[in-house]
Amino acid sequence: MGYSINLLRDGAKENPVLDSTADQQTLVDRFLVDMRDSQATVSIYLVSGYQLKGEVVQADSDAILFKHRGVHQLVMRSAVATMYPVGQRGQDGAEWWRGA
């Protein structure tokens, strides 16, 4: 059984979920795209209550590849209860849910 791990390559952004047009994306997908592109620190709470902080590297319909202090973690979306950006947003006041 072989798995292709293209997500860790620098500059790899081919992803049918996160690279589709804004009209086709869910609110969660738009949030993840904005967090990935801005390289913002994100706090994720799992349903178990465990908290993760770091940056979204990539995501698809099943999982989120998350990086904290150089360590990558693959978090299943079904295990995520809540996520939110940590710290200040952009100075222009743009909000991720309004789209580009």
Task: Judge whether 21 lies within some domain.
Answer: no
What is residue 89's predicted lDDT score, i.e. its pLDDT?
A: 57
Mean of all residue pLDDT scores within the chain: 78
Q: Give the contacts of 100 (CB within 8 A, at least 6 positions apart).
A: 22
Q: Residue 54: which CATH number?
A: 2.30.30.100
Task: Judge whether 75 lies within some domain.
Answer: yes
Structural domains of the chain, count: 1
Residues 37, 31: Cα–Cα separation, whole Å = 10
What is residue 25's predicted lDDT score, i.e. its pLDDT?
A: 80
Q: Which of 52, 62, 81, 44 is nearest to 7 (CA)?
A: 62
Task: Judge whether 99 lies within some domain.
Answer: no
Q: Which domain holds residue 48?
A: 27-86
Q: Give the model confidence (pLDDT) of 5-30 as tens digits.
A: 444 444 445 555 555 555 678 899 99
What is residue 77's predicted lDDT score, i.e. its pLDDT?
A: 95
Task: Judge whether 96 lies within some domain.
Answer: no
Give one DSSP letter per residue of 20-57, joined into a string: S-TTTS-HHHHHHHHHHHHT-EEEEEETTS-EEEEEEE
Task: Judge whether 67 lies within some domain.
Answer: yes
Q: Give the model confidence (pLDDT) of 25-51 as tens digits.
A: 889 999 999 999 999 999 999 999 999
Structure pTM? 0.67
Q: Give the model confidence (pLDDT) of 51-89 as tens digits.
A: 999 999 999 999 999 999 999 999 999 999 999 999 765
Task: Judge whether 5 lies within some domain.
Answer: no
